[in-house]
Amino acid sequence: MLYKIKKPDLSKVELGKVIENIDKQNKKEEISKLIQETFQPIYFYWDKIKYKQLPKGISPEEFWVLVKFNRKNQAIKSEIKNENEKYFNWVKLPEIEEFFHKMDLDTGGSFFALKESDNEKNKQKLIFRGVMEEAIASSQLEGASTTRKVAKQFLREGRKPKNESEQMILNNYQTMQVIESEYKSREMNLDLFFELHKMITKNTIPENEQGKFRKDEDNIIVADSSNIIYHQPPKISFVKKEIKKFIKFANDEIDTPFLHPVIKAIMLHFWVGYLHPFTDGNGRLARLMFYWYLLKKDYWAFSYLPISKAIKKSPVQYGNAYVYSEQDDLDLTYFIDYNIRKIKSAISDFEEYLERKSKENLEMNKLSRAKYNLNERQIQLLQHLYGDKNEKTSLSVHINIYRITKMTAIKDLKDLEKLDLIVSEKRGRNVYYYATDKVEGLFE
């Protein structure tokens, strides 16, 4: 059964009479303010607006007509079409320019509370954290059934995946690494689009479906466990036609009024989700396109921000953002609004993480340098192990995180073991390292 959003009965509502009634009651200014409140802090649909407290003599249905009229007057046509050849449109949200202005000014570091001297020193570690968190959360959104803790340890260890869920996460992680290091410098084309899909679906779907468009007879739908259908992707003939335009849009080859890169990245995200060109992996690919475009436009700080982790906190709202955009007069603003709020949430989480780590690490840095003459990698390792007796590392993990040679990693760990700051434990073929009680003293 296809899910349909509930819409009000507007058959007896005439816009002209509603406006005339408001003028008579001298409520124009009050209504205007109430309309603006439907744009922020959330771009609301009828299901929330109908409960809004309104002036006497104005019904929820009449108010909704005014809201829709206001939105229609501000609507900007996008380049995205639905299968009926009608364009999705969007509204520039209040305060969006201020948010983007701040982001553009500070993307080089201060927006994310990073000092210039810290950038080079911590960049790889922060990218590793961001890419890892994004790979895990994006895969979990698509059904990967493993805990964040287990997934993080698996990626740190660099071991082979044990099941399909771990394979999904590894695929996503490796693909994001390649985007960050190489593919962000390439123009989008069909070969690259297919290559990205092959990378994220490796060993999780049949080879003949990797990097190949789905067929109409595959009957691909987006549904929940109750078989309620939320999206029926368009015919593959439409997909093949529109994907050419999608690629031109991604390469900035379409002459359009200026669109902020974040808005364009969100549109690319939505476009892949709407077209749903493959049998599987569409959601992960859609979110990867978001990252690819922003990194290509030098928004390097997004490497640190696991947006999918923020989305994972409200997956139902994420699905609704797609549904409302498709079913409420092709209003893409629902999807744009949701994603901007998730970006803000991811930024806030990242800044809190940096502030927390900064406070935790201050005393340890002073003591470990003065007393033990430790290097930055060793200090960061002890900071990671501190406070959790079950937390561990290994030679391969240390190599993976800091991108160092085997000999350098061995020296780091052996020196810490000689100082009795870590202790090794052999388990089968693997040797793991844990913090000793002596590390506690570095925080006193």
- The overall average pLDDT reported for the chain is 88
Task: Give bridge partners of residue 87 from the DSSP assignment.
Answer: 81
pLDDT confidence of residue 402: 84
Task: Give bridge partners of residue 146 from the DSSP assignment.
Answer: none
Contact criterion met (CB below 8 Å) for 395 and 429:
no
Strands (E), 180-305: 222-223, 229-231
- Are both 87-350 and 374-443 of the same fold? no
Domain ranges of the chain: 15-74, 87-350, 374-443
Query: CA 255, 259, 265, 268: dihedral to nearest 10 degrees?
Result: -40
* Lowest-confidence pick of 6-15, 105-114, 126-135: 105-114
Residues in the chain: 444
DSSP assignment of 377-413: HHHHHHHHHTT-TT--EEHHHHHHHHT--HHHHHHHH
CA-based nearest residue to 154, from 179, 176, 171: 171
pLDDT confidence of residue 115: 44
Of residues 259 and 301, more confidence is placed in: 259
pLDDT at 49 over 70: yes
- Residue 109 — pLDDT band, cuts 50, 70, 90? very low
CA distance 435 to 437: 7
Q: 87-350 has which CATH code?
A: 1.10.3290.10
Q: What is the pTM of this model?
A: 0.83
- Residue 305 — pLDDT band, cuts 50, 70, 90? confident
Contact criterion met (CB below 8 Å) for 182 and 235:
no
Q: How far is CA 256 from the centre of its chain?
A: 25
Class of domain 374-443: mainly alpha
pLDDT confidence of residue 105: 75
pLDDT at 141 over 50: yes
Main-chain dihedrals φ then ψ at residue 173, nearest 5 degrees: -60, -50
Strands (E), 66-186: 76-81, 87-90
CA distance 44 to 91: 13
Q: What is the CA angle 317-318-320, rounded to 5?
A: 60
Contact criterion met (CB below 8 Å) for 268 and 193:
no
pLDDT confidence of residue 106: 63
pLDDT confidence of residue 336: 97
pLDDT confidence of residue 364: 63
Secondary structure class of 316 (helix, strand, coil): helix
User: Rounded mean pLDDT of 22-35?
Assistant: 91
